[in-house]
């Protein structure tokens, strides 16, 4: 199914988007894996994000090879290794955020291509991944961030919940529920888990591990769909002056004078999803100073030194640019993937089984 390429007038042309997609495809390994940079690690979250961008950017065959790699590397418990370098596993741990994200990629593929055979083929992997994730839900409603592996088997669970990771999982659970409805295999336990998680992200963020120095902790509850409307506007206002650098983008870490392209584009999508289109467009234009002449994107910019750091162009930054351009332009049906109008919303079930924050914190 053909579609037009994203284009943001006055900021990014369709031809430039195609160049950016080609830059991702150029770094894809023969196995289909999409590393951060050539020779660097591949993780399934950023890999799926890149596959989504390849599809939007017209690199359909490369996207298909990327998704085939996802099937080939899933483990029996539904997880994926946290770090794979040129086919070799360097960190066997299973991160819940990563293992959930295939659901988002498959729903995005459905929106763009309407390929029911693709959905049917990938549904068992989506289901296994989200079942693994839901099994890691904590009494607070948050999701434990990872499980270590020893001697080829799952072992110790790292029981801290992360705001950014759990917010992304909230998004993935919504996508998984939508897919379950599509294939006639509804998953009510995912709906309940999503409702509990949404409640925790809205009302009990103090029970998550404090990573507030990272901008992702700030905007991800909006990007992942748990917080929208006036509550999202309040959340944006809380840290806007901490993270946003005029004409450059946003900081990755509050105390570091370093703006990064991927985080800026994610904030663009979060803002647009909440109806704040003007600021979204401005930030998208601001980060274009990171564009390389070949269409790829530098990871970040240390503004006191006037220097790119690290000195590399990353696939995940390029992917975030393409997906933000699609959302701003509405070029493909996949442009709704972060906005979430095609996804179910979780109700207030989470609050019905929730005690006070103090009582939740005492449960282990």
In order along the chain (364 residues), what is the average pLDDT of each group of 10 residues?
A: 90 98 98 98 98 98 98 97 97 97 98 98 98 97 95 90 98 98 98 97 96 98 98 98 98 98 99 98 98 98 97 98 98 98 81 42 29
- Domain annotation covers residue 58: yes
Overall number of domains in the chain = 1
Q: Which domain holds residue 260?
A: 14-347
Measure the N-to-C terminal CA separation of the chain; round to a whole number of Å.
49
**Is residue 19 in a domain?**
yes
CATH code of residue 328: 1.50.10.20
pLDDT of residue 359: 34
Residue 317 lies in a domain: yes
- 52, 108 Cβ separation under 8 angstroms: yes
> 356 in a domain, yes or no?
no
360 within domain boundaries: no
Instruction: Kindly report whether the global pTM for this prediction surpasses the value 0.85.
Output: yes
Q: Under the phi-then-psi rule, with left for phi > 0, alpha for psi from -120 to 50, and beta for the rest, what region is 116?
A: alpha
Nearest to 133, CA basis, from 177, 181, 101: 101
Distance of CA 50 to the CA centre of its chain: 10
- Answer yes or no: is 355 within a domain: no
Measured CA to CA in angstroms, residue 364 lies from 132, 192, 301, 360 at distances of: 19, 20, 42, 9
Is residue 1 domain-resident? no
Q: Please give the helix or strand (H or E) that residue 273 lies within, else none.
A: helix 261-273
Residue 357 lies in a domain: no
Q: How far apart are CA 100 and CA 181, in angstroms?
A: 17
């Amino acid at each position: 199914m053909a579609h037009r390429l994203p284009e943001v007038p006055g900021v990014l042309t369709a031809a430039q988007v195609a160049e950016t997609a080609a830059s991702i495809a150029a770094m894809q390994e023969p196995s289909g894996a999409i590393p951060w940079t050539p020779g660097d690690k591949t993780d399934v979250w950023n890999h799926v994000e890149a596959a989504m961008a390849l599809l939007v950017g017209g690199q359909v065959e490369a996207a298909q090879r990327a998704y085939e790699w996802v099937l080939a590397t899933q483990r029996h418990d539904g997880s994926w290794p946290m770090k794979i370098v040129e086919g070799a596993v360097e960190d066997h741990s299973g991160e819940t955020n990563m293992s959930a994200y295939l659901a988002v990629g498959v729903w995005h593929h459905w929106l763009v291509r309407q390929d029911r055979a693709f959905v049917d083929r990938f549904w068992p992997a989506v289901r296994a991944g989200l079942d693994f994730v839901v099994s890691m839900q904590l009494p607070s409603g948050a999701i434990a961030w990872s499980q270590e592996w020893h001697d080829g088997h799952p072992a110790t669970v790292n029981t801290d919940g992360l705001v950014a990771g759990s917010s992304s999982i909230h998004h993935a659970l919504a996508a998984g529920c939508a897919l379950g409805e599509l294939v006639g295999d509804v998953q009510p336990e995912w709906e309940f888990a999503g409702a509990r998680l949404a409640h925790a992200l809205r009302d009990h963020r103090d029970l998550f591990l404090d990573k507030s120095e990272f901008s992702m902790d700030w905007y991800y509850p909006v990007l992942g769909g748990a917080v929208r409307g006036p509550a999202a506007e309040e959340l944006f206002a809380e840290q806007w002056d901490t993270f946003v650098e005029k004409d450059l983008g946003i900081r990755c870490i509050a105390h570091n004078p370093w703006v990064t392209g991927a985080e800026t584009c994610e904030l663009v999508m979060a803002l647009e999803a909440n109806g704040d289109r003007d600021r979204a467009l401005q930030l998208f234009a601001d980060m274009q100073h990171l564009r390389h002449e070949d269409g790829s994107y530098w990871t970040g910019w240390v503004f006191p030194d006037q220097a790119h750091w690290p000195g590399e162009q990353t696939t995940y930054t390029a992917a975030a640019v393409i997906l933000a351009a699609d959302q701003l332009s509405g070029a493909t049906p996949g442009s709704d993937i972060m906005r979430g109008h095609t996804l179910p919303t979780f109700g207030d079930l989470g609050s019905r089984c929730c005690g006070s924050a103090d009582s939740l914190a005492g449960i282990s």
